Amino acid sequence: MSTNTATLLYGNPNQVSQANVWLISSTSSWPEAELGAQPKWLKKAWEDKMPVQVLTTADGQVVVVQVTASTDSASLEKVRKQGAEVVSFLGKAKTTTAVVAETGLSKADVLAFAEGAALASYRFDKYKTEKATGLESVTVISTSVINKDVKELSVVVNAVSLVRDLVNEPASVLTAKLLSDIFVETGKESGFEVEVLEENKIQALKMGGLLGVNQGSDLPPTFNILEYKPKEHTNAKPIILVGKGVVYDTGGHSLKTSGGMEAMKCDMAGAATVLGVIKSVSELGLPLHIIGLVPATDNRISAAAVSPGDIITMSDGTTVEVLNTDAEGRLILADALVFAKKYEPELVFDFATLTGAAARAIGKEGFVFMGTASDKVKYQLQSAQNQTYERGVEFPIWDEYAGQIKSDVADLKNIGGAEAGAITAGKFLQHFTNYPWLHFDIAGPAFYEGAPVGYIPKGGTGFCVRMVVEFLKGMA
């Protein structure tokens, strides 16, 4: 799939005369040789804390940004948002290229600005007959960064863009089969292996959760195994990433309202996240053995569909009373978590747009996570969250919550009570694990239905890809 995001490029000092965006660390670092004397009105604007301004020079307009040196994750995020703001300025002028020069900025600030600008340039216009002019490239000219820095940033930005594209695709296009085809195609391009298990193999593995959710569909499910295993990897046991791949969710017989269905093409955001992370890890060449597991299907209604009260048997023999067919994501994830046991993994993360309860708890600003991974892993995760500003809140997963998912007629039921819905969903998943594990409920931030915020677009956001890649870079 193609992505509609500006290409990140590394520029050399000889291109500084082409710069149409200047990043200034202070008034004393004004590039007078390139821009002439600093206008008095600009100094006043900066004093009034208006750091992004358009300066009209003899050669045309130049955007000038005063960047306050970042000292923490929040101030670094402000620099990203300045990058997004500049893209808005350039868009109004129908400018297709940004050549960014800087004076006196750190590597972290320069890359954060470029990251924000590139991410903000994203647009999903595949189905528009008239396509708007957009930013096509961001060239970085800086003494504080090298070509390798820009290339590595470009890898992650492109992966985020791919995830956004996948989440934005309508369900009439992105079937489970096509999702698998994209996994295979991306694997060939980026250098990792993909195995797609078709329905007969899924049946042989007795994946009752995936097969049960798929019962109401006319289209077959798939189970996808993505593996990146470099010759020299530092982890003796693999790290496994599991992604929920419900390409469209009607809720089944527990039918969603019409308003609740409008964005349900995003219910495979967890699967897309896994692809984005493994694509990045492979292209960055991290010395880690990573495996992605993605069960994929749609959740539809038909005479054959699972009904509330039905009992299904999971691949490990656990019986589950399905009381709500709209709590389907945990059923397909459970089969993948069981499958993960065969690898005796070092660590397992799962990603899913799983519960409205998580979104209601903390909104679209972050994700909910919980699980059994060590404090060391959680500390490293916190560091990655701070670095990327993709933040989460840890929920408890105390033993007492297990009582809410006990069934009178089966081993488990697939929903708990009216309270702690995000936690009981996680508790359900925990039953199928026997390894260090964290569950990420990304229902809030994976898809924005409102206006864009900074570099976060309307629709698919690609949230979590940058954070997980940063975490894995730390592990490597």
Q: pLDDT-derived band of residue 222, with 50, 70 and 90 as boundaries?
A: very high
* Residue 121: HSE in the Cβ half-sphere, 13 Å Cα cutoff: 30
Q: Which of 48-57, 102-111, 184-193, 314-323 has the lowest mean pLDDT?
A: 48-57
Q: pLDDT-derived band of residue 90, with 50, 70 and 90 as boundaries?
A: very high
128's CB contacts (< 8 A; 6+ apart) are: none
- Report the distance separating Cα 445 and Cα 276, nearest Å: 16
- Domain 7-145 fold is Leucine Aminopeptidase, subunit E; domain 1 (3.40.220)
* pLDDT, averaged across the chain: 96
Q: pLDDT-derived band of residue 262, with 50, 70 and 90 as boundaries?
A: confident
Q: Of 15, 97, 20, which Cα lies nearest the Cα of 57?
A: 20
CATH code of 159-475, in short, is 3.40.630.10
- Report the distance separating Cα 422 and Cα 55, nearest Å: 50
- Asked if residues 216 and 302 have their Cβ atoms less than 8 Å apart, the reply is yes
Enumerate the CATH 3.40.220.10 domain ranges in the chain, comma separated.
Answer: 7-145
Q: What is the pLDDT of residue 57?
A: 85
Residue 218 has pLDDT above 90, yes or no: yes
Q: pLDDT-derived band of residue 1, with 50, 70 and 90 as boundaries?
A: low
Mean pLDDT calculated for residue range 360-372: 97
314 torsion bin: left (phi>0), alpha (psi -120 to 50), beta (else) = beta
381's CB contacts (< 8 A; 6+ apart) are: 369, 392, 438, 467, 471
The per-residue pLDDT for range 128-175, each reduced to its tens digit, is 999 888 999 999 999 999 999 999 999 999 999 999 999 999 999 999
| pTM higher than 0.95 | yes
Q: pLDDT-derived band of residue 290, with 50, 70 and 90 as boundaries?
A: very high
Q: pLDDT-derived band of residue 258, with 50, 70 and 90 as boundaries?
A: confident
Q: pLDDT-derived band of residue 259, with 50, 70 and 90 as boundaries?
A: confident
Enumerate the CATH 3.40.630.10 domain ranges in the chain, comma separated.
Answer: 159-475
The per-residue pLDDT for range 435-470, each reduced to its tens digit, is 999 999 999 999 999 889 999 999 999 999 999 999
Active site amino acids = 256, 330
Largest CA distance in the chain: 80
- Phi, psi values for residue 170, rounded to 5°: -65, 155
- Report the distance separating Cα 142 and Cα 107, nearest Å: 8
Q: What is the pLDDT of residue 450?
A: 86
The per-residue pLDDT for range 192-206, each reduced to its tens digit, is 999 999 999 999 999
The per-residue pLDDT for range 36-75, each reduced to its tens digit, is 999 999 989 998 989 999 999 877 889 999 998 889 999 9
CB-neighbour burial class of residue 317 (10 A; exposed 0-12, middle 13-18, buried 19+): exposed
Mean pLDDT calculated for residue range 99-106: 95
130-160: burial string, b at 16+ Cβ within 10 Å, e else: eeeebbeebbbbbeebeeebbebbbbbbbbb
Indicate the pairing of strand 347-352 with strand 367-371: unpaired
Q: Which of 17-31, 46-60, 281-295 has the lowest mean pLDDT?
A: 46-60
Q: What is the pLDDT of residue 385?
A: 98
Residue 2 has pLDDT above 80, yes or no: no
Q: pLDDT-derived band of residue 413, with 50, 70 and 90 as boundaries?
A: very high
Residues of the chain with pLDDT > 70, as a percent, come to 99
- Asked if residues 219 and 298 have their Cβ atoms less than 8 Å apart, the reply is yes
Q: Of 148, 160, 64, 145, which Cα lies nearest the Cα of 112?
A: 145
Q: What is the pLDDT of residue 132?
A: 83
Tokens of 403: 């009582």
Cα 228 from chain centre: 19
Residue 297 has pLDDT above 90, yes or no: yes
Mean pLDDT calculated for residue range 417-437: 97
- Report the distance separating Cα 375 and Cα 30, nearest Å: 46
Q: What is the pLDDT of residue 3?
A: 64
